[in-house]
Chains A and B, each alone.
Chain A
């Protein structure tokens, strides 16, 4: 656990929060999926969000880069409030990278093109520079040799590592992970988690929705437990896993531990 402590020390408590949510509410039709959710994520902090399916955890992080719109409350990312203003949305999406459960690589582009697309077209980076940057990140996720293949030619674990590299190529300040290992075969989960652990060690601000409790213990500064659209309990991994206070968290932990 010493690794977690040294990582935790990189969090600067005095800096303004990277992400601020205040009493956020969201409905899908009549279904109340987020209920008065408030939380802060400090710059450099690594937060793991867990909870049973349908608890609103994916919706929560999809609200942070406005893939979903919240209906009530405030969301401030990197000092910019999320509103209907398209310019603020563009600014936020440039600073927030996202990794999806189903990878969502662009199948008609090569791995390298997947990684250089946004830097070239959004950041206006020269092509050569973007390619050098992409190769740097592909090397970091340990698949530089696949750069000229198409996503369909790669395994699931490799595709997800490419998706991480693609998001990193935009050099975001914040990374969101939406169940990045849920669609993977068991033997590929580790390679993706290893990549994420390495990323965490660089001091990146991260919010991960995941059920990988080993990962949470290893890198999370804080674990947030959600159920039925609200944050039920949060704390350090030791507190959450070692000393769950609420009945709902105890029930959830007993269920996922039985599964493992």
Chain B
């Protein structure tokens, strides 16, 4: 050991220690490694199986899928009421169109249905990196105008449907899509503004973020729906949905701005200096060097906020806008359906979950793809 000068031959490499692999080894290592671990595993397995079986019984085996029409022309739900051990999916069978589209005229339901399909199509196209160029702008403009035409009607032989009659899933998708589509660019500008060297711009951005963050979304929605019209001149009226939309955009913008600022702050100073030294102007530096890196860093908290706001749109129920959740609640107000809330909420939960889980999975893929450059 002391003779470091001698050109000793390299010692022969040893094999790494043998590790047991395969599912059995995994089970033994993680679930049954000691008597204590074994006991916990067995106890949890018992509970898991018991409740899973209970759920299957409730949701499938004992469930009632439809009910007959009673003598008074209304659905007769007595069979459901006499079956406490099973789900009454009949409420979904009967009410699914109301839950999905609210009070939109029944014969025109194909229109909001098409709108939902257009939204989903828009998400899928926007998620494809092939379209991440100027083409995305006309795609969004055309799709959103098409959605407006379909929802309102009044042209091309479509009957006019006032905004008060809209409801259900389209409302949720409209609030979330427009909300995040406008809030995100706003957030980037505010985050950049907060780091600006110009005191006025910085002060405005700080004030905006702190004011909006300091109040609950509910009070902001109340202000938009109740107080805001009081300040408008006589006879002037801005659509209620639009007012709620603006409140959501402002609220989401403040939160997203802080997320984006986190990314800006995480970027090493050397990146700014290198861009400066190459002669890039402020906007070129920001768009080509700073934002691409800063936004990649904050994909997880960004998507976290996106998902949070997708669900927060349901708060518009307090100002009487019929989003998906409100439509679901309203569907079980009729006396014959009262008491079947669980079934409705399970279905609503599944719909929300599908959208949120898709966002989550997509962001995980995006993160892996975008951080490729960090791999060796």
Contacts of A201 in B (CB 8 A): none
Cβ–Cβ contact B276 & A93, under 8 A: yes
Cα A67 to Cα B281 with chains together (Å): 13
Chain B, interface size category, equals 20 to 34
Interface: A1 (CB within 8 A):
no
Which of B96-104, B287-295, B313-321, B336-344 is the interface stretch?
B287-295
Which of B142-150, B172-180, B266-274, B355-363 is the interface stretch?
B266-274
**Interface residue from B288, B374, B376 paired with A117 (Cβ < 8 Å):** B288
Do A94 and B293 contact each other (CB < 8 Å), given the known contacts A121-B284, A152-B374? no
Contacts of A94 in B (CB 8 A): 279
Cβ–Cβ contact A118 & B373, under 8 A: no
**Interface residue from B270, B280, B372, B373 paired with A121 (Cβ < 8 Å):** B280
Cα A108 to Cα B295 with chains together (Å): 11
Interface: B5 (CB within 8 A):
no
Cα A106 to Cα B277 with chains together (Å): 13
Which of A96-104, A130-138, A223-231 is the interface stretch?
A96-104
Q: Which label, helix, strand, loop or mixed, suits the secondary structure of the B interface?
A: helix
Interface size on A, residues (CB 8 A): 26
Cβ–Cβ contact A117 & B278, under 8 A: yes
Interface: B130 (CB within 8 A):
no
**Interface residue from B275, B279, B373 paired with A90 (Cβ < 8 Å):** B279
Do A104 and B373 contact each other (CB < 8 Å), given the known contacts A121-B284, A122-B279, A122-B280? no
Cβ–Cβ contact B276 & A107, under 8 A: no
Q: Which chain A residues numbered 108 to 140 have a C-beta less than 8 Å away from chain B?
A: 108, 117-118, 121-122
Interface: A158 (CB within 8 A):
no
Interface: A153 (CB within 8 A):
yes
Contacts of A107 in B (CB 8 A): 293, 373-374
How many pairs, one residue from A and one from B, have CB atoms within 8 Å of each other in the complex? 68
**Nearest-CB residue, chain B, relative to A101:** B270
Cβ–Cβ contact B279 & A170, under 8 A: yes
Cα A65 to Cα B280 with chains together (Å): 13
**Can you list, as one digit per residue, whether each of A66-106 has a CB less than 8 Å from chain B (1) or not (0)?**
01000000000000000000000010011011101010111
Contacts of A102 in B (CB 8 A): 268, 270
Interface: B195 (CB within 8 A):
no
Closest chain A CB from B370 CB (angstroms):
8
Interface: A241 (CB within 8 A):
no
Cβ–Cβ contact B373 & A122, under 8 A: no
Contacts of A108 in B (CB 8 A): 292-293, 296, 370, 373
Cβ–Cβ contact A153 & B376, under 8 A: yes
Contacts of B14 in A (CB 8 A): none
**Nearest-CB residue, chain A, relative to B371:** A108
Give 9 nearest A-B pairs by CB, closest first: A104-B274, A93-B279, A150-B373, A118-B278, A104-B270, A98-B277, A122-B279, A94-B279, A121-B284
* A-B residue pairs in contact (CB < 8 Å), sample of 6: A65-B276, A108-B370, A122-B278, A150-B372, A151-B373, A167-B277
